[in-house]
Structure 1
Amino acid sequence: MIKLLICDDHAMVRSGLAMLLHGKHGIEVVGEASEGDEAIVLAKQLLPDVVLMDLSMPHGKDGMAATTELKQLLPETAVLILTMHDDDEYLFRAIHIGASGYILKNAPHDELLSAIQSVAQGNAYLYPTATKRLMSEYLVKLRQGGADQGPYDTLSEREKEVLGWIAKGYSNKEIAESLIISVKTVETHKSHVMDKLGLRTRPELIKFALKKGLLNYD
């Protein structure tokens, strides 16, 4: 049996997934969690083979943070991200922190079952269009000499854009209004930029931007 733990902040979604998956293709739903901290507690108790993890959970620990901690505590447990976010940045970050798979919530039921079986067997799973995008990104990096790239080259185009705005002194709210995104999204991009570049303060970020020639105001 594949022991499965479901983590999603919507009770109806959890119940629906449990009804859909339990008993199918050797899957046993052993627990349900409403946010990341609860998932970590249950995972330590139940030792699931797979955790089906939502990303966006506004209360408690979100899916990214929970996945990072779970992989440190239970490295043999596979985490399959189930999300509505068809977004390269979420996808690449999930892979970077150790998720075994990434599948969208609108995927057919058979595809979800196959994804759970795949990651339980130690394989990776990405939905088809994500695989294509990932390969394209890899080929671009190869053509650009990916092995010699520095931290800046690991930033997504949006992260580079946000970095430039921050370095020029714009507030998170001003950046959000200019890019037509939420303030929370700007804060997330900023956090990713700081992590990838190994920076801790705004002055360090500005100094980095100066070296990269990002402060052209024209």
Structure 2
Amino acid sequence: MDVVRLLMVDDHLMLAEALSARLAEVPDLWVVGHCPTGDPRLPDLVRQSRPDVITLDLEPAGAGRLVRRLQEVRPAAEVVVLTGIRDVRKAVEAARDGAAAWVPKERGIERLTEVLRGVRRGQSWYPPDLLGPVLRELREDVVRAGQRNGPLDALSDRERDVLAGMVAGKRGAQIAGELLISTETVRTHTRSILAKLRVHSQLEAVSVARAAGLRGEPDGEP
């Protein structure tokens, strides 16, 4: 059984402790720690605890760009926004910065548990009332990126290989096996691809790649 290592970043200590206690009852979730958003020790805690998933509250002032900063410290971790605010603009910014999911705090523990497991498998989740606006903004980002000259020119040969695998619909583990690299390296290349293409999700990267003429080989073909 794969255990998801979870770090909770939230200024509401009582909520964080209560959630930690509830999640500790789930066999495949392990809360490795919790920390306030403004704690200067947060980067060190992320490095030391090596979480697979980080939940982040965006309510505190100044927490808006923490999604990107946390992923810079721990590229292998997925960030899930766990918050009480319902702000379309902040949801779009979080998606652009790479947040895999946005979960309102009023959702039940069952939904949160499903999302935490899902993002570890490469899935994303945003509530229906935010998903439409977020997707519209991300689609516009794809169009703008596709209009640039030679959007794939900035990629290294290995990054193009990884992107071609994504275009073919392959998962990270399959891409890693075919390229004889680790899944962690695939994740690192993926982060670099998104940054260089100036997009914010693998779906956008695939759209840009197809618009630029990159084709992945379907499974089963040489």
Classify the TM-score, shorter chain: 0.5 to 0.7
Equivalent residue for 1:24?
A: 26
Larger Rg over CA atoms: 1
1:45-194 → structure 2 map (5 Å cutoff): 45-58=48-61, 62-135=62-135, 141=140, 146-147=143-144
Higher relative CO (CA 8 A, sep ≥ 6), structure 1 or 2? 2
1:43 to partner: Cα distance: 0.7
**2:75 aligns to what SS in structure 1?**
coil
1:148 to partner: Cα distance: 8.4
| Structure 1 gap segments, 5+ residues each | 151-218
After alignment, is 95-104 or 64-73 more displaced?
Answer: 64-73
Q: 1:67 to 1:138 in 2, by over 3 A?
A: closer
CA displacement 1:4-26 (0-9 Å, x = unmatched): 00111111011111012123150
Q: 1:148 to 1:47 in 2, by over 3 A?
A: closer
Equivalent residue for 1:39?
A: 42
Kept in 2: contact 1:7–1:53 (CA 8 A):
yes
Query: What value does the CA root-mean-square deviation take over the aligned residues?
Result: 2.5
Q: Which amino acid aligns with 2:68?
A: T
| CA–CA distance in structure 2, aligned partners of residues 138 and 4 of structure 1 | 27
**2:41 aligns to what SS in structure 1?**
helix
Q: 1:95 to 1:12 in 2, by over 3 A?
A: same
1:122 to partner: Cα distance: 2.0
Question: Where is the helix percentage greater, Structure 1 or Structure 2?
Answer: 1
Q: Using the aligned pairs only, state the percent identity.
A: 24
1:146 to partner: Cα distance: 4.5
Q: 1:149 to 1:77 in 2, by over 3 A?
A: closer
**How high is the TM-score relative to the length of structure 2?**
0.58
Q: 1:7 to 1:116 in 2, by over 3 A?
A: same
Which ranges of 4 or more aligned residues in structure 1 deviate by more than 6 Å? none
Would you say how many aligned residue pairs link Structure 1 and Structure 2?
Answer: 144
Kept in 2: contact 1:50–1:120 (CA 8 A):
yes
**1:126 aligns to what SS in structure 2?**
coil
CA displacement 1:195-218 (0-9 Å, x = unmatched): xxxxxxxxxxxxxxxxxxxxxxxx
Q: 1:38 to 1:14 in 2, by over 3 A?
A: farther
1:138 to partner: Cα distance: 6.0
